[in-house]
Amino acid sequence: MPPRVSSGREAAYRGKQAEMQRKPWQKGVLSHNVDAMRNLLKAIGHFLSRQSPPEKPADGGYRAYTKRFDRIVTSEALIREHDPALVDGKPLREFYKEFRAFTQSWRMQADIAALEAGARVKTKIGEGRLKDTVVSLLIDHSGSMRGQKTLLTMEAVSIATELLVNLGVKVEVLGFTTSSWQGGTSRWLWLNRGKPPCPGRLCDLLHIIYREASETFPGSAQNLSAMLLPDLLKENVDGEAIEWAVERLRMRPETRKKLIVLSDGAPVDDSTLHANGDGYLMRHLVQVLAEVKAAGDIAVAGLGICYASEGLYRLSAEITTPGDLRGPLIDLLEKVLVDADSDQPQGVYH
């Protein structure tokens, strides 16, 4: 039984009892937690600002504000991180099997064209040079690649990988995107430091390894299922992705090194472009391609996905429909393999 109280204190007592019966978020606990979280984030930002100074460009040009939050993961690890992943309400593995069955009709003519092209390539350059060749396929995972572009790209990579492996060529398959939209922890760190001008790249890169050049299994089909993860496709920083792919190629023992970039447009990261100017990422891409061209040890080609990329790459093709898998795709692969540019020491591009 509650204690007796005077009429003057009764209202205050009942108010206290009601306060004790309220749910935590009704008592101001939530607002207290929000304030505590805000203070924690400020403390973390202060710590990181002392631990992660901005990256400084060697020539005063392009830079990443910080590379601390960039990631390189395998496709298998990415799938495990998102498990259980659903695509259109179905488990990823089940959806991918249905996709592979559906695209069999796309492949019939492409497989015939690949066999014919392979025979021509063997005649022109010989099996010895083919075994001394490594090709890297670098895939743009920007948000604009969503839908049929992704399906078309997956099939193009699968066909290209099988053709190259059957010829004895070493094949690497890589992808590039960002960990989040409109920047990430890098941008948050920049904001916490007061938004200094000209910060450089402000997003957190996500680079994906689908197949390493050292692997010998016949195809890359199963590993490509990670491309169907619903929240994978975000922003694209092409210049740094090409630098990464080139660095990996240069560690390979093969003499003939080739890189094919599969993309549907210009590099875009809204947070970076807003802070540095609209042409910032494109200028860097052009600069990187010029540096690779001057080095002369790697031939770079472009496969545009519903996009004409001949302005960037000396060898290029465009695919827009499944029918292009047997024409432009196979023609480009044949030209890349026969092309002698990466066999020369330097100054090979004209």
Tokens of 17: 């009892």
Residues paired with 206 in a beta bridge: 71, 177
Tokens of 251: 């560690």
pLDDT at 222: 59
Q: How far is CA 83 from CA 86, 229, 344, in A?
A: 8, 10, 46
Region 115-123: mean pLDDT is 95
- The DSSP string of 296-335 is -SEEEEEEEESS--TTT-SEEEEE-SGGGGTTHHHHHHHH
Contact of 201 with 63, CB cutoff 8 Å: yes
Region 335-345: mean pLDDT is 71
Alpha carbon distance 79, 210 (integer Å): 11
Q: Tokens 């090409």 appear where?
A: 242
Instruction: Give the pLDDT band of residue 39 (cuts 50, 70, 90).
Output: low
Region 153-168: mean pLDDT is 94
pLDDT at 134: 98
Region 251-280: mean pLDDT is 96
Alpha carbon distance 120, 305 (integer Å): 26
pLDDT at 298: 97
pLDDT at 55: 52
How many C-beta atoms surround the C-beta of residue 2 within 10 A? 7
Contact of 201 with 269, CB cutoff 8 Å: yes
Region 153-176: mean pLDDT is 95
- The residue ranking higher by pLDDT, 83 or 312, is 312
pLDDT at 140: 97
Query: Where exactly are the structural domains of the chain?
Result: 1-51, 56-343
Taking the model in full, what pTM does it have?
A: 0.81
pLDDT at 75 over 80: yes
Ramachandran category for residue 86: left, alpha or beta (phi over 0 → left; psi -120 to 50 → alpha)? beta
pLDDT at 309: 86
Helix axes 29-51, 185-192, angle to 10 degrees: 90
Nearest to 274, CA basis, from 178, 176, 190, 185: 190
pLDDT in tens, 174-218: 999 999 998 899 999 999 999 999 999 999 999 999 999 999 887
Query: Which burial class, exposed, middle or buried, applies to 300 when counting CB atoms under 10 A from its CB (0-12, 13-18, 19+)?
Result: buried
Alpha carbon distance 183, 273 (integer Å): 10
pLDDT at 13: 42
Q: How far is CA 336 from CA 52, 324, 326, in A?
A: 41, 17, 16
Average pLDDT value over all residues in the chain: 83
Contact of 167 with 132, CB cutoff 8 Å: no
Which CATH number applies to 56-343: 3.40.50.410, 3.40.50.800, 3.40.50.300, 3.30.43.10? 3.40.50.410
Residues paired with 171 in a beta bridge: 135
Nearest to 240, CA basis, from 101, 80, 62: 62
> For a pLDDT cut of 70, what percent of the chain falls above it?
79
Nearest to 336, CA basis, from 167, 219, 209, 218: 167
Burial of 76-101, coded b for 16+ CB within 10 Å and e otherwise, reads eebbeeeeebebeeeebeebbeebbe
pLDDT in tens, 46-71: 454 444 445 554 445 899 999 999 99
Instruction: Give the pLDDT band of residue 150 (cuts 50, 70, 90).
Output: very high
